[in-house]
Amino acid sequence: MTDLQSAPEQVDAAVATPQSSGGPGGGPTTFHREMVRGWGGAVGGEAEVARPENAEQVADLFDAARTGRLGARGLALRGSGCSYGDASTNVGGRVVETTGMNRLLEFDAERGIARVEPGVRIRDLWRHAIQHGYWPAVVPGTMQVSMGGAASMNIHGKNAYAVGTFGDQIRRFKLLTPGEGLLECSREQNADVFHAAISGFGMLGCFTEIELKLKRVHSGRLRVWGIPMRDLEDGLAILDDQREHADYLVGWCDLHARGKGLGRGVMHRADQMAPGEDPEGEELLDPVKQDVPSTLFGVIPKGWIWPGMWCAYQFGQVPLVNGLKYRAGFKEGLASPYLQSHGAFHFLLDYVPRWHWMVKPGGLIQFQPFVPAHCAGRVLRQIVEKAQSQGIVPYLGVLKRHRPDPFLMTHGLDGFSMAMDFGVPVREKARRRLWALTREMADVVLENGGRFYYAKDATLRGSSFESIHGSTAVTEFRALKERLDPGNVLQTDLARRMLGI
């Protein structure tokens, strides 16, 4: 059993610092008033935070909440706080942060199966697993995400079209529920809870142990191609054409480009190496060799990058930067393929400390619609044009391919997603315009059978909940909530917005 908090590797501070900080004194179940925001920094507020270190302490907190000793706003479960919006905030209420439950309980190096506590982060897992020739089968764009948060949101990676979601990699888990205590869940045992708690945004119980399978890797590097995309439709076509053979695909889009060139950008494809294909491959199965240098071009400290990004953003230079990035994609295309470490390919932004401060002081929100394949080109173009026509243009667009999965509240479908990052204005009127725009865009997506992903949401209306999941799934989910958490102990700002609890 490994206590990952005391592991020698130090956390890169880029994303590691959630918006709440440890309180002084008191035990792990003592609450301290802190500022608890979504990762984008645009939503959230003060809450009372406790940091239990084991399942028994979580059970005590559930008991206290159930018997009304902790107030009416319940308890919000929180992992690393990497959800962009209000998925793990509880303004004016209480938050239970599970990052202290962070032991790697078991690692089967023969079969690549890990049993972990919920506070273990993707970072902790890959750094342990890579030495044995394994890599988590699904990773998001930051390695700071916890296992509990990943399961609860059923996160996806750049290979969602090929291997499915995080939930697809989970074999079984233990869920501590306020109503029925500890439940063991798998595809065979408590299968309804298994399929609903994964994707259940922390509403049904607290994951206390998760067992998941990892994938074999034979080299510490991936073979990577940069492929210029002329426009949105070209990007969608590349995703569809290459998904049969590519291990990972992700497209960066310039959403300032208009007309014919709307959505132009660069697609990145990465493939795993076959055994023996990379002569240095095995040597690079070392966590230290996965890290990227702490300076840019060998001289500029990475800590200086965010002020440069801040200036570009504040002084309206994003279209210029995007144009240069698009042109650089052609050069990258000529130099392709090249070799890149798994860490650098998946988590490059983690190595740029505080990059998201570029949107300070208002913070950012992300809007990520999932659109069925047959209408994706039309719908995505329509919503980007809507944003452009209102002069509220996302500074970043990221395109991915997805596939359906069996989880009740899933965002997965046979189609595409476009993650769009918007800087949030400080002035209330401009902020209200942004919220109104995202709701107009959401209406277009929902009219066309699309879905949304709550880890990336801050603005959807509760009335969208049924349109996203359908009435059968919503009824089933509400019934499970009533059974497993009859007193609504588990609440978040997102849940109050979407479920109306």
Ligand X SMILES: Cc1cc2nc3c(=O)[nH]c(=O)nc-3n(C[C@H](O)[C@H](O)[C@H](O)COP(=O)(O)OP(=O)(O)OC[C@H]3O[C@@H](n4cnc5c(N)ncnc54)[C@H](O)[C@@H]3O)c2cc1C
Three-state helix/strand/coil letters over 173-241 = EEEEECCCEEEEEECCCCHHHHHHHCCCCCCCCEEEEEEEEEEECCCCEEEEEEEEECCHHHHHHHHHH
Nearer to ligand X, 41 or 220 (CB): 41
- Tell the smallest beta-carbon distance from residue 29 to ligand X (Å): 15
493 sits in which H/E element? helix 493-499
Nearer to ligand X, 44 or 79 (CB): 79
- Tell the smallest beta-carbon distance from residue 167 to ligand X (Å): 11
Q: What is the largest CA-CA distance in the chain?
A: 65
Nearer to ligand X, 118 or 226 (CB): 118
What letter does residue 66 receive in the DSSP assignment? Answer: H
- Tell the smallest beta-carbon distance from residue 491 to ligand X (Å): 9
In this structure, what are the phi and psi dihedrals at residue 447, rounded to the nearest 5 degrees? -60, -25
Strands (E), 10-102: 32-37, 44-50, 75-78, 94-97
CB-CB contact of 137 with 158 (8 Å) = no
Residue type, position 473, single letter: A
CA distance 163 to 243: 11
- Tell the smallest beta-carbon distance from residue 15 to ligand X (Å): 6
- Tell the smallest beta-carbon distance from residue 97 to ligand X (Å): 8
Tokens, residue 343: 């860490």
DSSP per-residue codes, 325-361: HHHHHHHHHHT-SEEEEHHHHHHGGGGSTTGGGGGTT
Nearer to ligand X, 98 or 459 (CB): 98
CA distance 168 to 165: 5
- Tell the smallest beta-carbon distance from residue 405 to ligand X (Å): 12
- Tell the smallest beta-carbon distance from residue 359 to ligand X (Å): 13
What letter does residue 4 receive in the DSSP assignment? Answer: G
Nearer to ligand X, 253 or 284 (CB): 253
DSSP per-residue codes, 243-269: TTT-SEEEEEE-TT--GGGTT-EEEEE
Nearer to ligand X, 93 or 133 (CB): 93
CA distance 159 to 248: 5
Nearer to ligand X, 174 or 221 (CB): 174
Nearer to ligand X, 39 or 107 (CB): 39
Measure Cα distances from 248 to 131, 163, 223, 231, 349 in Å. Answer: 22, 10, 10, 20, 17
CA distance 295 to 301: 4
CB-CB contact of 333 with 228 (8 Å) = yes
Contact residues for ligand X, defined by CB under 6 A: 15, 39, 76-83, 87-88, 98, 118, 140-142, 145-146, 148-150, 152-153, 155-156, 201-202, 206-207, 349, 455, 492
Closest CA to 413 of 438, 388, 382, 379: 379
Three-state helix/strand/coil letters over 456-492 = HCCCCCCCHHHHHHCHHHHHHHHHHHHHHCCCCCECC
- Tell the smallest beta-carbon distance from residue 281 to ligand X (Å): 25
- Compute the chain's Rg from CA coordinates: 22
Nearer to ligand X, 263 or 412 (CB): 412
Nearer to ligand X, 88 or 448 (CB): 88
Nearer to ligand X, 227 or 399 (CB): 399
- Tell the smallest beta-carbon distance from residue 270 to ligand X (Å): 14
- Tell the smallest beta-carbon distance from residue 88 to ligand X (Å): 3
Nearer to ligand X, 44 or 140 (CB): 140
- Tell the smallest beta-carbon distance from residue 81 to ligand X (Å): 5
